[in-house]
Structure 1
Amino acid sequence: MPHAISDMEADVPSSPPESTSQNHDVELPAAPEATAATTNKVALEDIFNDEVSDSDLLTSTADIPSSPPTAKDNHRGQDVASARSGQAESYSDPSVMLQYYTRLFPFRPLFLWLNASPSPSPRFANREFAFTLSNDAYLRYQSYPSHDLLRRDILRLNPSRFEIGPEYSTNPRDRKTLRKASTFRPLSKEMVFDIDLTDYDDIRTCCVKANICEKCWKFATMTIKVLDAALREDFGFEHILWVYSGRRGVHAWISDKEARELDDDKRKALVGYFEVLRGGVQGGKRVNVRRPLHPHIRRSMDILRPYFTQILVEQEPFLSQSGQDRLLQLLPDKDLNDALRKKWSSSPDRPSKKKWDDIDELAKTGVSKNLDTKALLEAKQDALLEYTYPRIDVEVGKKRIHLLKSPFVVHPGTGRVCVPITCGGDMKRADLFDPLTVPTVTELLREIDSFGQKNEEEQGTSQEDSNRHENSNQKKVLDWEKTRLKPYYELFNGYVNKLVKSQTTSLKRERDEDGHNGADAMEF
């Protein structure tokens, strides 16, 4: 069972000050003030009004396809070569985006995910969608009773991207007709986390700003593993979806009922649970966790320790003079620091891994007669956390009114689709995921055309072959099945399928426990 979020403050590893990070995805206009959120626990039975039939579930029963998306393929070289040559396709071209929405975007699975039921309900109908149009106009507070109407409007507006917001107390389109603005308030939304690799610019040396590579993507992989483990083991959440942002980050969507119904205070507490890093780079030590270490911190260090060694080799954080000084600033003993500084001054190009090993080697020689070995160990633990622990855009997760890019939208800068990375706690997928191999929208459209041409060549052009094909009753191959989008689509379908079944089973169980089954209804 999940911890009660209202009781979480006693368990947080640290209590950092408010973060000033901003939402990198969209600048939000002021939202209507919400009324004070109740702290009473919301009953599970309140989520549905009508019972859902099992026959309405997704036709695919597989939770997760057997094989993950290929981590390396021949498209990678094309993408990198194109980027290096400075060539760029117009990924947000209206004609390209219209084809994508018409042929590839998963509107029905998106509806099932946000609604958690095949039957239309206020959970979807009162949900806010916000569109960025091709002329950069930003359209907020859009809502739709069904996925068909959402699809129709997206084909009409043809946005370059769109965001998902909360479910409101009333239809967002009707907010201006209400007599009291306070009656228009967010009721629920998936708990979300946003991680952007630009927040690692002070420690990654391979890339800066919006650029990424295999080396610095490890920071994203580490974040997924640490947060996913904590969300499942410490809070009992199950339905966690990790999505690639399309350029340099990842988003986590937590769809459990307990997560969706968290008020803003509890969301703030949940985000605070993961705020281990504090302050700016110039402010000295950024990690100050309490001892003995919280179980979450101990588990995180076990996950992060192997990556720390890779970072020392690949990022060389201590190679420069400033990086070296920053490391020494984290260590507690002056005599040891002086000995390290002297040794490194004679070898300015000494690799970071060797400099890290020098700490223990010199400490064992007795260069400091008053060395506190426990303090040194704790300082090294803090250093490991500073260079590996997740860096979260805390503002995105704190409030329900924040919007976040929808999965499967196209990033207008890179053309890459915001595909799912992993779900269900499968960290092998997180390890295999390579953002540089994610297909672009133009590649996908070319793959559909190539698939048709290949089929024509294989089947031949004779009338006899054509008639035989028409009468074979073969299942029609959908457009997304013809492209590299297929494994990501299947992964999302499996996640949604599991979520809908879980919600349906929970609803039936609660109704049975309340005496609403057929047998009880006949008793007098």
Structure 2
Amino acid sequence: MASSYDEMSPKDLLAVYYGRLFPYTPFYRWLSYGGLRKNYLANREFSFTLDGDIYIRYLSFSEQSDFEKELQQKNPCKIDIGAVFSHKPRDHKAVQASAFRAEEKELVFDIDMTDYDDVRNCCSGAAICEKCWPLMTVAIHILHRALTVDFGYKHLLFVYSGRRGVHCWVCDEAARQLSASGRSAIAEYLSVIKGGECQTKKVQLRGSSMHSSLQHASQVIKKYFPTLALENQDILGTPERYEKVLSLIPSEDVRKFLREKWSHKSAATSFDRWSELESAVANQSSKDMTHCIEEIQFQYTYPRLDVNVSKGVNHLLKSPFSVHPKTGRVCVPISYAAVDSFDPFTVPTVNELCRQLDECVAKEAEADSEQDAVEPGRKRKRMPEWAKTELEQAVSIFSDFVKKMELEWHAAKQESRDMDMSW
């Protein structure tokens, strides 16, 4: 039987979501960063995209209640988060342009599946499926290791974009205070895929040995490559597909040898052909062939970052718990510990959440009625309404993330107090 929510407009569904389900308290605890700096939250920019593609920038809120009120009044189909400015963004027109500047923001990364279209054979554009989603899994693993080990960051929040990608928010204080040049340096450090649509070979690994970060990335890639590239994408399954792989091999002799071999074995699998490719490359001593296998694997699986998103301090990015306007799915945090089992197709839509909430409320009312008959007037503990739906797991992941940061903030406050007392 169809739910009444199936017939509601997106705007009406969002009204229920913002009015009853959005996790305001942990959200604002996150962006306040322990209140260590005055006006940190009030100087944060938000933007709303309203029904009809109306875009409103330079929104800012001094209190959580102001944010709640505006969300519930506007019911935006998308929320974006920007930088912490020198002044309140809503007052930017009253401030000299030279004085109004973006001072801090999380270091962010945007990974979009459309950037993998040249190596996907299952989908293209905005479409995703269970065969190509593991590309996002690989990206998360590689980014997590590089950012935590190579740069020492601790507080990484990975968020499903709601449709076809993943966002990473690096929330450490040192990351938030990075300059544009510092952000660019990190983004470039993590960028291995180079060149546009017209460039065939997009990975060039120089030197006799790879950088340690690339070595670790290679270990991740080798774990996922057989299933992801050879089975799911079947990258050597047809002449059209294996010609794309052969074009990445520097040696014309190897390309010719494999092309002739494969043209006479039309029934061979991608696994068979990959084994033959590895053997043929292993017999080469040319410096150009040193990292040939890794270069192919990287081109087909290494994270493809939108570096412009990472470089700009004042660049806005879709907020966690925003709702994707096309799919209706909530942009939920992803637990790194469970990243391999994350399934984007099970992420709830606003419609589903509203229906779950109503069902739970109805059951509660029935239980209350039965309880009143036994113990009249007894007070009952009420849980947040998001906890009555599938949103509970996402909010729990998010709250745990915030709590870990809060432990660090409290330690910093205590250290500051101890120093003051020592004087």
Asked if TM exceeds 0.5, the reply is yes
Q: Does the alignment pair 1:403 with 2:316? A: yes
Q: Give 1:390's aligned residue.
A: 303
Q: Does the alignment pair 1:504 with 2:372? A: no
Corresponding residue pairs, total = 418
Return the offset for 1:458: 4.8
| Aligned partner letter, 2:133 | W
8 Å CA contact 1:92, 1:412 repeated in 2: no
| Aligned partner letter, 1:322 | E
1:363–1:102 Cα change, 3 Å: closer
Matches within 5 A, 1:112-511: 112-117=29-34, 121-178=38-95, 180-291=96-207, 292-310=209-227, 311-362=229-280, 371-372=284-285, 375-422=288-335, 426=336, 428-458=337-367, 461=370, 464-465=373-374, 467-468=375-376, 470-471=377-378, 473-511=379-417
CA distance in 2, matches of 1:170, 1:462: 53
1:462–1:110 Cα change, 3 Å: closer
Return the offset for 1:377: 4.5
* Matched position secondary structure for 1:162: strand
1:119–1:479 Cα change, 3 Å: farther
8 Å CA contact 1:332, 1:375 repeated in 2: yes
CA distance in 1, matches of 2:135, 2:232: 12
| Aligned partner letter, 1:481 | A
1:159–1:431 Cα change, 3 Å: same
* Matched position secondary structure for 2:53: coil
Return the offset for 1:349: 4.5
- Structure 1 range deviating more: 411-420 or 373-382: 373-382
8 Å CA contact 2:278, 2:293 repeated in 1: no
Compute the RMSD of aligned alpha carbons.
2.2
CA distance in 2, matches of 1:501, 1:362: 54
8 Å CA contact 1:91, 1:415 repeated in 2: no
| Aligned partner letter, 2:400 | G
1:456–1:181 Cα change, 3 Å: closer
Per-residue displacement from partner, 1:57-79 (whole Å, max 9, x unpaired)?
A: xxxxxxxxxxxxxxxxxxxxx9x
Return the offset for 1:504: 2.5
> 1:107 pairs with 6, 13, 24, which one?
24
8 Å CA contact 1:206, 1:216 repeated in 2: yes
1:410–1:334 Cα change, 3 Å: same
Return the offset for 1:332: 2.9
Return the offset for 1:331: 1.8
| Aligned partner letter, 2:266 | P
Q: How much identity, in percent, do the aligned residues show?
A: 38
CA distance in 1, matches of 2:41, 2:371: 49
1:462–1:166 Cα change, 3 Å: closer
CA distance in 1, matches of 2:306, 2:29: 27
| Aligned partner letter, 1:205 | N
CA distance in 2, matches of 1:294, 1:362: 25
Return the offset for 1:317: 1.6
* Matched position secondary structure for 1:123: coil
- Structure 1 range deviating more: 325-334 or 213-222: 325-334
- Structure 1 range deviating more: 330-339 or 130-139: 330-339
CA distance in 1, matches of 2:211, 2:9: 46
Return the offset for 1:511: 4.7
* Matched position secondary structure for 2:328: coil
| Aligned partner letter, 1:339 | F
Return the offset for 1:500: 2.0
CA distance in 1, matches of 2:280, 2:34: 62
1:450–1:383 Cα change, 3 Å: same
Per-residue displacement from partner, 1:210-243 (whole Å, max 9, x unpaired)?
A: 1111111100000000001110000010011000
Return the offset for 1:457: 4.4
TM-score (norm 2): 0.93
1:439–1:173 Cα change, 3 Å: same
1:340–1:400 Cα change, 3 Å: same
CA distance in 1, matches of 2:281, 2:109: 40
| Aligned partner letter, 2:396 | E
CA distance in 2, matches of 1:232, 1:278: 24
1:382–1:402 Cα change, 3 Å: same
Q: Which runs of 5+ in 1 are unaligned?
A: 1-77, 79-87
Q: Which runs of 5+ in 2 are unaligned?
A: none
1:164–1:221 Cα change, 3 Å: same
CA distance in 2, matches of 1:462, 1:242: 42
1:123–1:459 Cα change, 3 Å: closer
| Aligned partner letter, 1:516 | D
Per-residue displacement from partner, 1:77-99 (whole Å, max 9, x unpaired)?
A: x9xxxxxxxxx967862211111
Return the offset for 1:208: 1.3
Per-residue displacement from partner, 1:155-188 (whole Å, max 9, x unpaired)?
A: 111211110000000111211112x311000000
